[in-house]
Amino acid sequence: MSFQNIEQIEKIERAEILTIGTEILLGDIVDTNSAWISGRLAELGVGIFRHTTVGDNPDRIVEAMREAASRADLVITTGGLGPTSDDLTNECLATLAGVGMTEYAEAREHIDAKFRQFGRVPSPSNYKQALFPEDTTLIPNPLGTAPGAMLAVDGVLFATMPGVPPEMHGMFDETLAPLLRKKSDGIIVSRTLWFVGMGESAIAERVQEFLDAEDPTVAPLAGQGKVRLRITTRAATKEAAETKIAPVEKELLFRLGDHFFGYNSETLESSAARMLGERGLTVALAESCTGGLLAKRLTDLPGSSAYFKEGFVTYSNESKERLLGVSKKTLDLFGAVSEEVAREMAEGVRKLSGADYGLSVTGVAGPDGGTEEKPVGLVWVGVSGGTGTRAEKLDLTAWAKSRSAVRERSANLAFAALRQAVEDASSGAGKDTESTYVNRDTSV
């Protein structure tokens, strides 16, 4: 193995992330570190080749390090820096590099200082976190006891960091990011466009030549009733990247604009909330099969008290009658999962609350309770307000085996229906108060 000062590495273009811990493989914890690091590396112009997870086995860790180094200029590890015998990351890096472990006085002093802050005395095992491969450059850890390590081996930079997200975030931003900023070529910029009411395959047919392009790249991803198109390019500066993205974005919106609802981290609920807020409008909710999911999503948004008045979970027929004023005759004739009941629920909650819009959801979430006439996955959404009352039938039977999928998609498409109603009222469309909308593509 050949070693070099990390400052002598001229360029870093490709990275791999190696998460270490048997608890991740067993599903005891979820790896959020890889996604966070990937986002930060993209901002720094470093491409991500692979994410790999390996358990607490020294042979497998060393092999995973070796494989990652064969493909990348930078290998970032998270986890395995603790004081116990199964915390092996730095030892494995030393094995890979063919060097010994040595105690770093500044790391030992850091451990002592942290334990004084905790009002405790470190045990001998805690000083394991002061041992690092020879020739290591330490990554300070202001929040925890375990510093990280940087070591350049055969032109590949290894950076070991703890698995605790807040500790890792600070260490990356304060130490690793400034180094990578000097050694990466340009910046990778992505912009995400979100669409609803049109399936992934239908969208792909309209914009296939962009999906086949190499720069900028356009990648689709579908899920829970929505489709996103992510436009990505590399350029010397953010401004140059945005200039490359702009004409592609313009053409995608020209072809698909009727289904567009937001950029980047926008959700259907935040998009609907923004439309209500901009117009000084309010909404009230009447939920059955979603069980309060719509209310949760709205109240998760900061400032939701400005446009959300109240919500009702009317799971039984009796509660629909008593609280929302749904007619017993309507329930007897058509059943709770019907266009008529969805309309009356929406109208009832709007009148009861005094909100500008009432939004309702009633359906069969399953996995039991469906019939041939009303199968699991049949859902009706009602919207009252603006130009009148409308109802929309959602065919979610393809997800009948997953109660959570039916509920999540119902919530997404309910907010889409609310957006459409507000938009129609603003533009003067949708004057027919008796119309029923049943054409939304729920295949994604």
CATH code: domain of residue 304 = 3.90.950.20
95 lies in the same domain as 19: yes
- Cis omega before residue 216 (within 30°)? yes
Closest among 214, 232, 226 to 415, alpha carbons compared: 226
pTM of the model: 0.79
176 lies in the same domain as 287: no
Can you give the pLDDT at residue 26? 96
Residue 130 placed within a domain? yes
154 lies in the same domain as 194: no
Residue 291 placed within a domain? yes
80-93 pLDDT per residue, tens: 999 999 999 999 99
Q: Range of 233's domain?
A: 187-263
168-191 pLDDT per residue, tens: 999 999 999 999 998 988 888 999
Q: Tell me the pLDDT band of 444, cut-offs 50, 70 and 90.
A: low
Last residue of a domain, one of 161, 183, 205: 183
109-145 pLDDT per residue, tens: 999 999 999 999 999 999 999 999 999 999 999 999 9
Token digits of residue 294: 């719509």
66 lies in the same domain as 139: yes
Last residue of a domain, one of 212, 247, 263: 263
Tell whether the model's pLDDT for residue 59 goes beyond 90: yes
Q: What's the chain's length in residues?
A: 444
Residue 28 dihedral angles phi and psi, to the nearest 5°: -70, -35
298 lies in the same domain as 257: no
423 lies in the same domain as 321: yes
Pairing of strands 388-395, 283-287: unpaired
375-388 pLDDT per residue, tens: 999 999 999 999 99
Return d(Cα 352, Cα 320) in angstroms, integer. Answer: 12
Q: Which CATH number characterizes residue 232's domain?
A: 3.30.70.2860
User: Sign of torsion, CA 391 385 412 320?
Assistant: negative
The region that residue 246 occupies, defined by phi over 0 for left and psi between -120 and 50 for alpha, beta otherwise, is: alpha
Question: Distance between alpha carbon 331 and the CA centroid of its chain, in Å?
Answer: 39
In DSSP terms, which residues pair with 313 in a beta bridge?
287
174 lies in the same domain as 191: no
Q: What percentage of the chain has pLDDT greater than the value 90?
A: 89
Q: Residue 342 CB: number of other CB atoms within 10 A?
A: 32
Return d(Cα 136, Cα 89) in angstroms, integer. Answer: 13
218 lies in the same domain as 253: yes
33 lies in the same domain as 153: yes
Structure-token match 């990356």, residue found: 172
Q: Which CATH number characterizes residue 123's domain?
A: 3.40.980.10
Tell whether the model's pLDDT for residue 434 goes beyond 60: no
230 lies in the same domain as 145: no
Can you give the pLDDT at residue 441? 57
Residue 333 placed within a domain? yes
162 lies in the same domain as 253: no
Residue 221, SS3 per DSSP = strand
Last residue of a domain, one of 263, 284, 314: 263
Indicate the number of domains in the chain.
3
Question: Distance between alpha carbon 127 and the CA centroid of its chain, in Å?
Answer: 37
Amino acid (one-letter) located at 305? S
Residue 444 placed within a domain? no
283 lies in the same domain as 342: yes
Residue 26 dihedral angles phi and psi, to the nearest 5°: -80, -5
CB–CB of 201/189 below 8 Å?
no
